[in-house]
């Protein structure tokens, strides 16, 4: 069972990396970028085929995500795509 | 004062911290590996050192905060044992939920490594007893993720309860309200980004850090 966890900074939390990417894009001539926010994508391959979204959420709260500053979204990867 | 220093894979200020504790307390701290589940008996102070534990992977301090020894550190802090987290140690303590807020990438993106002036906001904790109340000390900083952030309610609470121990005299890394160091509610856990252990002997160029350790020895015996 495969899951993807998308980790993003909470709205309003300053994102220095996103800002640097934004400046670099502008330097390359991409002048119409309004804002850039950088996040993380974590792919999990779980041995337990019955592992649920709740199990992944548990991993997010215990380690993968710092909920003080980050939000997360869990996506189940369908067998055909994996 | 009986002390211990926690060592994670990637810690690199553990020996500096041990040396500072030895010089000021006259007693060498016990070095405790991150996989240990127990701490020595009768500790007065636990040092969580700077460095790049677990390569700063995932988030600075995230993996170290979940290592086996941290359960014992948390339990000791709940019994009232003093805990000092420096730099990566501060990041570990926030990740472990022992201090509020989070340390994010410096607002200027760059790693900051230089001496900075700090205002001593609270000199009543066991960590700051020998520091000049309301005065200024200078300590080196060396970090990439020192940008302290918390929600406004938490920041107001920290200020209101006198838990901001040290504040940068200028904007160093984008930290909310220029916070450089905070204590927990009970006042026995301090996290700070500047490195007191790098300002202990004249050869370091500065000795303001020595006063922090001497204050601890005085407060903790």
- B195 among known catalytic residues: yes
What does the pLDDT look like over B115-161, one tens digit per residue?
999 999 987 899 999 999 999 999 999 999 999 999 999 999 999 99
d(CA A65, CA B212): 34
What does the pLDDT look like over B178-192, one tens digit per residue?
999 999 999 999 999
pTM (two decimals)? 0.94
Candidates B58, B150, B174; nearest CB to A14: B174
Give the pLDDT of residue B109.
87
| Count of Cβ atoms closer than 10 Å to residue B200 Cβ | 25
Total domain count, chain A: 1
ipTM of this complex prediction, to 2 decimal places: 0.85
Residues of chain B contacting residue A63, judged by C-beta atoms under 8 Å apart = 58, 62-63, 66
Mean pLDDT of B50-65: 96
Position A69 in a domain: yes
| Count of Cβ atoms closer than 10 Å to residue A32 Cβ | 6
Tell whether the model's pLDDT for residue B219 goes beyond 70. Answer: yes
Task: pLDDT band for B102, please (50, 70, 90 cuts).
Answer: very high
What does the pLDDT look like over A1-57, one tens digit per residue?
999 999 999 998 889 889 999 999 999 999 999 999 999 999 999 999 888 999 999
Candidates B102, B109, B147; nearest CB to A20: B109
Q: What is the CATH number of the domain that holds A45?
A: 3.30.1280.10
Number of H helices, E strands in chain B: 6, 11
Q: Which of A63, A49, A54, A45 is nearest to A7 (CA)?
A: A63
Tell whether the model's pLDDT for residue B34 goes beyond 70. Answer: yes
% of chain B exceeding 70 in pLDDT: 100
Q: What is the CATH number of the domain that holds B202?
A: 3.40.50.880
Give the pLDDT of residue B52.
97
Mean pLDDT of B17-35: 97
Which domain, by its residues, includes B21?
Answer: 3-220
Identify any residues that bridge with B21 across adjacent strands, giving them in sequence order.
none
Give the pLDDT of residue A82.
59
Residue B133 CA from chain centroid, whole number: 19
Q: Which two tokens stand for residue B92?
A: 């570990």
The C-alpha angle B95, B188, B64, rounded to 5 degrees, equals 25
Position A82 in a domain: no
Tell whether the model's pLDDT for residue A80 goes beyond 80. Answer: no
Inspect the interface and report whether the beta carbons of B62 and A17 lie closer than 8 Å.
Answer: no
Total domain count, chain B: 1
Which domain, by its residues, includes A8?
Answer: 2-77
Position A54 in a domain: yes
DSSP H/E element including B90: helix B88-95
């Amino acid at each position: 069972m495969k899951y993807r966890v998308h980790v993003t900074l909470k709205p309003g939390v300053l994102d220095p990396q996103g800002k640097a990417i934004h400046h670099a894009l502008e330097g390359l001539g991409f002048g119409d970028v309004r804002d850039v926010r950088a996040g993380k994508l974590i792919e999990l391959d779980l041995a337990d085929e019955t592992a649920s979204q709740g199990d992944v959420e548990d991993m997010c709260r215990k380690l993968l995500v710092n909920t003080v500053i980050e939000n997360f979204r869990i996506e189940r990867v369908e067998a055909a795509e994996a | 004062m009986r002390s211990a220093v926690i060592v994670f894979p990637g810690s690199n200020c553990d020996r500096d911290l041990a040396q500072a504790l030895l010089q000021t307390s006259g007693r060498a701290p016990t070095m405790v590996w991150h996989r240990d589940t127990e701490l020595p008996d009768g500790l007065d102070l636990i040092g969580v050192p700077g460095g790049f534990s677990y390569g700063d992977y995932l988030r600075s301090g995230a993996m170290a905060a979940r290592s086996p020894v941290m359960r014992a550190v948390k339990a000791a802090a709940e019994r009232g044992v003093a805990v000092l987290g420096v730099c990566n140690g501060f990041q570990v303590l926030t990740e472990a939920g022992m201090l509020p807020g989070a340390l994010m990438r410096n607002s200027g993106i760059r790693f900051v490594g230089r001496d900075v002036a700090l205002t001593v906001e609270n000199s009543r904790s066991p960590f700051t007893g020998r520091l000049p109340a309301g005065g200024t000390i200078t300590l080196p900083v060396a970090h990439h993720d020192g940008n302290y952030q918390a929600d406004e309610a938490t920041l107001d609470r920290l200020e209101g309860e006198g838990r901001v121990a040290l504040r940068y005299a200028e904007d160093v890394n984008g930290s909310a309200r220029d916070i450089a160091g905070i204590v927990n509610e009970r006042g026995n856990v301090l996290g700070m980004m500047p490195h007191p252990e790098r300002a202990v002997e004249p050869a370091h160029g500065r000795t303001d850090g020595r006063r922090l350790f001497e204050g601890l020895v005085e407060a903790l015996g």
